Amino acid sequence: MNARLTLEEILDQVRRLSEEEQQRLVADLQANAGRTPSEDRRRAAMRRWLARAGTGHADVDDISSKKNRYLAEIYATKP
């Protein structure tokens, strides 16, 4: 099977299907008509992103990892 078929080639293959298979194909196409592949990819990416939320780690210290110490220093210097 070719990686990419032209519309005419696809229609030709559909015409060779039995009427029952054509009706089933039309029903499947209509059932999936509302969702675009890009929407599916976006949702899948969001699920992966949310699953990883909070799992990151850095080997270097930053202000946020030692914020209590920095805040204590700031408040201790205020009159």
Each residue's pLDDT tens digit, 28-58? 888 877 767 788 888 899 999 888 887 777 7
Distances (CA, A) of 18 to 8, 25, 26: 18, 10, 12
* Global pTM exceeds 0.85: no
How confident is residue 77, by pLDDT bands cut at 50, 70 and 90? confident
Say how far apart CA 73 and CA 75 lie, in whole Å.
6
Structural domain count, the chain: 1
Residue-number span of the structural domain to which 3 is assigned: 1-54
Locate 79 and state its tokens.
């009159």
Inside any domain, residue 76? no
Half-sphere exposure of 36 (CA within 13 A, CB side): 3
**What H or E segment, with its residue span, contains residue 40?**
helix 37-52
Mean pLDDT of 13-23: 94
With respect to residue 45, please indicate whether it lies within any of the assigned structural domains. Answer: yes
Domain presence at residue 70:
no
Has residue 71 been placed in a domain?
no
Residue 20 within any structural domain of the chain? yes
Find all residues with CB under 8 Å of 2, minimum gap 6, and list them: 9
Specify if 67 maps to a domain.
Answer: no
